[in-house]
A and B are shown apart, each in its own frame.
Chain A
Amino acid sequence: QQQVKQSPQSLIVQKGGISIINCAYENTAFDYFPWYQQFPGKGPALLIAIRPDVSEKKEGRFTISFNKSAKQFSLHIMDSQPGDSATYFCAARLIQGAQKLVFGQGTRLTINP
């Protein structure tokens, strides 16, 4: 019930293309959905986040689409660049007044030049 399922596990996109990563959840007690980007040897970096009362949020080339009824959300990376090659994690926060993120399993994204 507290799982967040992420797909695909790996993704290869050509430079300039659109990268799309999907996540699904079951627990309606999640109230905040961030995406993190992680490069090898580094900690995850907060990329963009959304709350369930909003259906879409855009920051630069990164967009989150959120479908509350389907319990799904996705990350779109427009005009993908080789520098975007990294592992991406979706996550969800439980409504408990405390910080506890439940993470998806991650997607290894490779952007071919």
Chain B
Amino acid sequence: KAGVTQTPRYLIKTRGQQVTLSCSPISGHRSVSWYQQTPGQGLQFLFEYFSETQRNKGNFPGRFSGRQFSNSRSEMNVSTLELGDSALYLCASSPTPYEQYFGPGTRLTVT
């Protein structure tokens, strides 16, 4: 089976812009979660989607949003980018309530 794919892999944006990241889960996995990874804060949970519904949300401002499509693919959007949003954004898909399999991430740099 193909793994979790994320596009784009690298992105450079300017402060104030918005960005959309895409995630395609492993075939058959219906749950998709998003995490932000930074050197200072580590890995932090953003949100999780299951069957097109957001089931859980982390402690991030409303500028961070997401959605899931009927084919389980997911997107996350960050509006009004700030320098502190520079991070590796990771998507994970799950076949069960437990295991999560991560993609390679999208490296976002905000200048």
Contact = CB atoms under 8 A, between A and B. Distances in A.
B102 A103 contact: no
B56 A43 contact: no
A42 interface: yes
A101 B37 CA distance: 13
B97 interface: yes
B76 to A, nearest CB: 15
B55 interface: yes
A42 B48 contact: no
A54 interface: no
A96 interface: yes
A8 B99 CA distance: 25
Contact of B48 (A34, A41, A99): A99
A91 B92 CA distance: 14
B66 interface: no
Contacts of B48: 98-100
Interface string B71-98: 0000000000000000000101010011
A97 B50 CA distance: 11
Interface of A: 32, 34, 36, 41-46, 49, 89, 91, 93, 96-106
20 contacts: A32-B98, A34-B100, A36-B102, A41-B104, A43-B102, A44-B43, A44-B90, A46-B101, A49-B98, A96-B56, A98-B50, A99-B48, A99-B100, A101-B35, A101-B100, A102-B45, A103-B42, A103-B44, A105-B42, A106-B43
